[in-house]
Structure 1
Amino acid sequence: MVIKVYDEKVQRIAQADARLGQLIAVIGDLTIPLRVDPFDSLVMSIIGQLLSVKAAGTIYTRFVDLCKVVAPESILLMEDTEFRAAGLSRSKTSYIKDLSSKVISKEVDLYQLDQFSNETVIRILTSVKGVGKWTAEMFLIFSLGRLDVLSLGDVGLQRSAKWLYNLDKHEDGKACLERKASLWFPYYTIASLYLWEAVNMGYVDSCASLEELLL
Structure 2
Amino acid sequence: MTEELEFLIKKDKVLKQIHDDLGSPYIPNRPEGFETLCKLIIEQQVSLESAKACFKNLETNIGIIVPENILKYSVEELRTFSISKQKASYLIALSNAVIEKSLNIEKLSSFNDEEIRSQLIKVKGIGNWTIDIYLMFCLQTKDIIPIGDIAVVNTIKKLYNCNTKQEIIQISDNWRPYRSMATYLLWHYYLAKRNRKPIIY
Same fold per TM (> 0.5)? yes
% identical aligned pairs: 29
User: Residue by residue, what CA displacement relative to the aligned partner does 1:179-199 show, whole Å, maximum 9, x if unpaired?
Assistant: 222321101100011011111
Rounded to whole Å, the distance in 2 between the matches of 1:93 and 1:180 is 36
Instruction: Structure 1 unaligned segments of length 5 or more: list them.
Output: 1-5, 205-215
Distance 2:145 2:75 in 1: 36
Question: Structure 1 residue 19 and structure 2 residue 14: aligned?
Answer: yes
| TM-score, length basis structure 2 | 0.89
* Superposition map of 1:1-215 within 5 A: 6-165=1-160, 167=161, 171-172=163-164, 174-202=165-193
Partner of 2:199: none
2:26 touches 2:188 (CA, 8 Å); kept in 1?
no
**Following TM superposition, by how much is the alpha carbon of 1:50 offset from its aligned partner in structure 2, in angstroms?**
2.1
CA distance in 2, matches of 1:79, 1:180: 44
Q: TM-score, normalised by structure 1?
A: 0.84
CA apart distance, 1:160:
0.9
3-state SS, counterpart of residue 87 of structure 1: coil
Consecutive unaligned residues of structure 2, counting only runs of 5 or more, are 196-201
Query: Computing the radius of gyration over CA atoms, which structure comes out larger, 1 or 2?
Result: 1
Q: Which has the higher contact order (CA 8 A, sep 6+)?
A: 2
Aligned residues: 195
Letter in 2 for 1:186: P
| 1:180–1:106 Cα change, 3 Å | same
Q: Could you report, residue by residue, the CA deviation over 1:57-105 in whole angstroms, capped at 9, with x for unpaired residues?
A: 1111110011100001111122444311111222211111110111112
| RMSD value, Cα | 1.8
Cα deviation for residue 32 of structure 1 reads 2.5
